[in-house]
Amino acid sequence: MRRLVAFVLVAVVGGSLVACGSDSGGATGGGAPYAKVATKFGEVSIPAEPKRVVALGWGDAETALALGVQPVGASDWLAFGGEGVGVWAKGKYQQAPQLIGTLEPEYEKVAALTPDLILDTKSSGDQDRYDTLKEIAPTVGIPTGGESYKVSWEQQTEMVAAALGKVEQGKELIAATKQKFERAVAANPEFAGKTITLGAKTGEGYGAYVSGTGRVNFVERLGFRNNPTIQAKATEKFSVPVSRENLDQLNADLVVMAPIGVKAQDITGDALFQAVPSVKAGHSVVFDDKTISSAFATDSVLSTSYALDKVVPLFAAALKG
């Protein structure tokens, strides 16, 4: 695969990469690099201000957009189509990016875009993936400990901002989002200490998320505690399966479920799910709006702000039953 990428670079772009470097006045003359970013794979140096960014990690594209940079290529993790972003990032592109595969990037497409920076901060953290991408352009991969997509929106924003030379702007975005959380906490003191289950149903069955993942981090910041029964089953993965005969394990002060590849009715119409005590008492939320569910799942600095506006009222109403 690396040889194929190298061939594509030579065949498609020829000597243009040299021109990209020399135009910027970055490190090509022996000076200091434009930016440095610490990653799992070591410190990455970006020689000059990036002009052609490809964003491959989950939420990387909209993080770049939040910082005023429009990627020329991006992965569409939640199959939004079009520009590959949710409504919270609509209008931030002047020209739609080339959409690129997610779990297995289309390396030839990436190379053909002649990027001078690749963002892959929230991905599998696979060594081969990183090694292939870095042959195309400087690649900001996952941070240490960021495997299995366990990278917070704050950390993602910090890394992307550093790579783009927009550190102060990144700090401002993070501070504004944290203030929004603080306002939500102050307005909903009843969230404090309540247990919550964040789960999903797919074609394979039910599952629930564990601490260290975006969804759970979100609700913990609001004052909730992750369902201790679920948390006790945690592994290095971001969720644990819950069999139909054990759906009572979902029970908590509040149960929040998302349909993934199935309909919301497949959850709300399930008699076993309805028999879970908290669900039976009316203390549950099942996302039937894909946009809200996607915002909650994306966990970028833009989607998090949108999700706060949409899901906090749903949580408050469900707790009251």
Alpha-carbon span 108 to 256, nearest angstrom: 40
Report the b/e string of 37-74 with b at 16+ CB within 10 A: bebebeebebbbbbeebbbbbbbbbbbbbbbebbbbbb
Per-residue confidence (pLDDT) for residue 31, from 0 to 100: 64
Structure tokens at 180: 């929004």
Alpha-carbon span 207 to 243, nearest angstrom: 8
Q: Give pLDDT tens digits for 191-247.
A: 999 999 999 999 999 999 999 889 999 999 999 999 999 999 998 888 999 999 999
pTM of the model: 0.87
CB–CB of 79/54 below 8 Å? no
Contacts of 269 (CB under 8 A, 6+ apart): none
The structural domains of the chain, with segments of one domain joined by +, span: 2-167, 188-320
When pLDDT is cut at 50, 70 and 90, the band that residue 41 belongs to is very high
Q: Give pLDDT tens digits for 236-292.
A: 888 999 999 999 999 999 999 999 999 999 999 999 999 999 999 999 999 999 999
When pLDDT is cut at 50, 70 and 90, the band that residue 32 belongs to is confident
Q: Is a pLDDT exceeding 50 seen at residue 8?
A: no
Fold of 2-167: Rossmann fold (3.40.50)
* pLDDT mean across residues, the chain: 90
Alpha-carbon span 166 to 163, nearest angstrom: 8
Task: Dump the DSSP string for 37-94.
Answer: EEETTEEEEE-S--SSEEE-STTHHHHHHHTT---SEEE-TT---TTSS-GGGTT--S
Per-residue confidence (pLDDT) for residue 299, from 0 to 100: 93
Contacts of 279 (CB under 8 A, 6+ apart): 250, 251, 255, 273
User: Helix H segments across the chain?
Assistant: 2-8, 16-24, 60-66, 107-112, 127-134, 153-163, 167-187, 214-221, 228-231, 265-268, 271-274, 277-280, 290-298, 301-320
Q: Give pLDDT tens digits for 10-29.
A: 333 333 333 333 333 333 34
When pLDDT is cut at 50, 70 and 90, the band that residue 319 belongs to is very high
Per-residue confidence (pLDDT) for residue 7, from 0 to 100: 37
**Do 2-167 and 188-320 share a fold?**
yes
Fold of 188-320: Rossmann fold (3.40.50)
Q: Give pLDDT tens digits for 141-184.
A: 999 988 878 899 999 999 999 999 999 999 999 999 999 999 99
Per-residue confidence (pLDDT) for residue 321, from 0 to 100: 76
Q: What are phi and psi of 200, to 5 degrees?
A: -150, 155
